Every structure is written in structure tokens, then in C-alpha cells.
Structure 1
Amino acid sequence: MDVFILCLAAVALLFTSYSIIPTIAIRVSGKEITKRIKGQKGIALTFDDGPHPEFTIMLLDLLKRYRVKAAFFVVGHKAEKYPEIIRRMHQEGHVIGIHHYQHVSNWSITPFQLKKQMNRTQKVIRRLTGKRTCFYRPPWGHFNLFTNQIAKDYEIVIWSHIFGDWKAERSEHTLLRDLRQVPDDGSIILLHDCGETIGADENAPKYMIENLEVFLRESVKEGRQFITLETSNMDRRGHYEH
């Protein structure tokens, strides 16, 4: 029994050192990650977990109507399944970033598997758009001991504001209030255009889009600006807060 407990404790220590401690350290320190766009007035909209054949199209239609550019951190196997949506994102001027080939946490994969997840998604994006992406967001914002090193050639983007919009109740009842409170000082908003991941509600993106439409309509009237992660003719690393 004592040996079993010692082995269990050793496994728990190794897991914590590999996953939880690096995640806390990186996100608290902000080292080598982007949480807010420094020196820019406006709000950056970012969306995770798609593309989705219904909700992502609805979202693209909405963004086009209000002439807003956003960033989509896509899941590679879904991008392969819906290539026309990825092409549309690119054609309409949106940023496309990596969100792994499958929606798996960095806590549960090896460094080799992480590199493979990123490389496969990069190849899909490049094949569909003709452009290499330089943006990466780890699923759930989870890091492991090697994430920053493996993703050293990418801008690792997390967020300044997250609302739990993957749950339908929050997306329907509190999201609009939360969006209205976001300052336009380079804030990066995280939303989700697909509800098929673990812990999410499948219909949550429907309410997200409905409330985002109200927010965009109000923002146009108030003169609120929306910015993207990409800034042409500027050095990204000189204009992002790490």
C-alpha cells in the first residue's frame, strides 16, 4: 500500500510539474504570450473551436454585415471537413490561427504530439489559403513544460476577456452585459463558434451570435472600433503586450 501511495504521489507530482505549474506560471507572468494588443485603441474579436457548418457561416455573415474583421483559431480536422469555410474566412480578411488538429489539451499530450498537432493544422491552413499562419492558441489555454519552446515561431495568443459563452445559459443571459463592459484599449475577447467540445453546449453559439449582433450594432452607433491580431507593415512583437 505504501509503495502504491508513493507511486501515485510521484505520478501526481510529475503531472503537476508538466502541466498545471507551467500553465499558471506562463499565464500569470504573461511571458511570451499575448493577452492584449498594446498601443491600439479598439477590441479584437477571436473565436475558437470551429469551423462549424452552421454557426461559423452565420458568424461570418454577421461580421461581413458590420464590416468587422476577426480571428478564428480553428481545429485542423474540422478545417479539412469544411474547407470552403476556411477559404471564405481568408477571402474576407479574417485572421486564421492554430487551435490543434484535434481539440486536445497540452496537459494530455507529449511534446512530440504537440508538434504534430500544430504542424498538421498549419499544413491544412496553408493548403486552403496559400498562407502560413503565425498565430497559435492552445485549447483551454493549457500549456505544458514545452509549449512555449515548440511554439517559439508563433505568436501565442490567449485573451484579456473570457465569458464562459460555451454554456448556453451564460451565452444567452449574461454575455451581452459582459461584452458591453469590455474596454476598447486593445482587449482580446474570446468567444466560441462551435459547441461540440467537451463541457460545451451545442446550441451555445446560437445565443453568442444573437448577443454579438446586438453588441456590434451598438458599437457601430457608439463609434467603437474593432481591430485584428495582424497589423500590416508593423513588427508584431513590437506591438503586442507579452
Structure 2
Amino acid sequence: MQLAPFFPIFYRVLQPTFPNCLWGGDRNSKMIALTFDDGPHPQYTPQVLAVLDRYNIKASFFWLGACVNRSPAIAKAVSDQGHWIGLHGYDHRSFPMLSPLDLKDSLEKTQAAIYNACNLQPEQVRDVRPPNGLFTPATLKLFLQWNYRPVMWSVVPEDWVRPGVNTVVQRVIEQVQNGSMIVLHDGACGGQDVAATIKILIPQLLRQGYEFVTVDTLWQQGTTKPLW
């Protein structure tokens, strides 16, 4: 069963319960963020970069440390083109299943991989999106303690199950609004279709007057503010 129709309901419930997470930006501004999880991938990520470059759009990428280590040149290309970089854990294990020590190690190993590939210092890469969006209040408390910024999403077209490019585009268009944070995937699950998806999606959103910004910009001007 595909869950895409239910995600907007889930997040309307979760957002006020977990206000320390970034769920989106200013509802009075037509700024939106295009984000990609599970990369970098040696084939799919360069395809995404080519489309973003064509439209001069800066996106945000939440990386797995293992994938960075496998494709450091691709990671460097993403960083060199000015896209925002965040953490998605080292190997996509669910954060609530990890001990605090293992969670800290997963995030720090990913920061180290990014530093080695892109020369970005750990303090420059502190946005964290939990794999599958799964977290607990204890997880968020650890993020705060370790000076990470928890990032979620507001538009989830469930592209990782590959329902078809047109279906993914339609789901985004139906859900997008001012301040939306759209999540797509450029990794092994869903990455096969991602370039074709954004080739259709980006022009439609531009015609609607949306401006694409990074997650960092949403932190700066969003309705959800970090506590530190």
C-alpha cells in the first residue's frame, strides 16, 4: 500500500508536536526547497546536477556517509556547484534503533567522509534528516545536545517506490505551497527516475512563481526556528 496520500496528514499532526525540527519555511513567501536523500550516486546524482545547473537552482542533498566514500568525486561536484549538504546517517540505519554512541558515530563518520571529499568542516555540515523520517523525542534531544539541526520535509511524493514520473510530479504539484520542503531521492531507490522527474517538475513550479532555495535559507526565514 502506498502511503503518499497520508503523508500530508501525518505531518500536520507531527509538526506542532516536534517544533524544534525544520518542517518548512515561511508560509507567506513563495520560497521552496528541493531536497534529495540517499546519495551521492555515481549515475543518478550527476543527472540531477545537470538539470539543476540548467535552471540555475540550488538544492539540498542529505547524504549517506557510505555513499560519499564510494563516490567522493561526485560529492565534491555537488559541493563545488554550491548546493547545501546535510547528513542522512552513514548507512541508512533507522536512528531510533541505534544506541546514542552508534548514532553519534554514524553522524561523525558521515561528516568525516564529507570533509575528505569536499573539504567541508564538520561544523558546516550539521543539518540531519533521519532515514525514513523516523525519530523519537530522545533522538531530537541528542541532536540538540550535539549541536545538529533536525530537518524533516513537507512534500513526500514517495518516489522511492517508483510509482512513475508523472505520478510523482502530480503529487508534488498537488501538495506544494509556500515554504514547502520537497523530498526526492537520488540514491539506489528512486534515483532511476529522479532526473526525469525534476525535468518536468522544475519548469512547472517556476511557472507558478516559486523560488528555489536551500534548507539553510529556510532555517533563516522559516516559521520553525532552531533553539540555538
Aligned to 2:4: none
Aligned to 1:241: 224
Q: Aligned to 1:141, which of 125, 133, 138?
A: 133
The TM-score, its normalising length taken from structure 1, stands at: 0.78
Higher relative contact order (CA 8 A, sep 6+): 2
- SS where residue 179 of structure 2 aligns? strand
Residues 1:76 and 1:240: Cα distance change in structure 2 (over 3 Å): farther
Aligned to 2:17: 29
Aligned to 1:207: 193
Deviations, residues 72-123 of structure 1 (Å, cap 9, x unaligned): 0000011011111111111111001000011100132111111110111112
Amino acid at match of 1:35: W
Q: CA RMSD in A?
A: 2.4
**Count of aligned positions:** 209
Q: 1:1-242 to 2 correspondence within 5 Å? A: 29-38=17-26, 40-131=29-120, 132-152=124-144, 153-168=147-162, 170-195=163-188, 200=189, 204-231=190-217, 236=219, 239-241=222-224
The TM-score, its normalising length taken from structure 2, stands at: 0.83
How far is 1:151 from its partner? 1.2
C-alpha distance in 1 between matches for 2:155 and 2:176? 10
Contact 2:19 2:224 in 1 (8 A): no
C-alpha distance in 2 between matches for 1:142 and 1:128? 27
Contact 2:38 2:64 in 1 (8 A): yes
Question: Any stretches of 5+ residues in structure 2 without a counterpart?
Answer: 1-12
Contact 1:101 1:120 in 2 (8 A): yes
C-alpha distance in 1 between matches for 2:47 and 2:66? 20
Amino acid at match of 1:65: R
How far is 1:148 from its partner? 1.3
Deviations, residues 47-69 of structure 1 (Å, cap 9, x unaligned): 10111110111001111111111
Contact 1:111 1:150 in 2 (8 A): yes
Aligned to 1:14: none
Deviations, residues 137-173 of structure 1 (Å, cap 9, x unaligned): 01011113531122111221100110110012x2434
Seq. identity, %: 29
Amino acid at match of 1:149: K
Contact 1:175 1:208 in 2 (8 A): no
Structure whose CA Rg is larger: 1
C-alpha distance in 2 between matches for 1:90 and 1:42? 21
How far is 1:124 from its partner? 1.5
Residues 1:68 and 1:76: Cα distance change in structure 2 (over 3 Å): same
Amino acid at match of 1:98: L
How far is 1:205 from its partner? 2.2
C-alpha distance in 2 between matches for 1:179 and 1:44? 12
C-alpha distance in 2 between matches for 1:146 and 1:164? 26
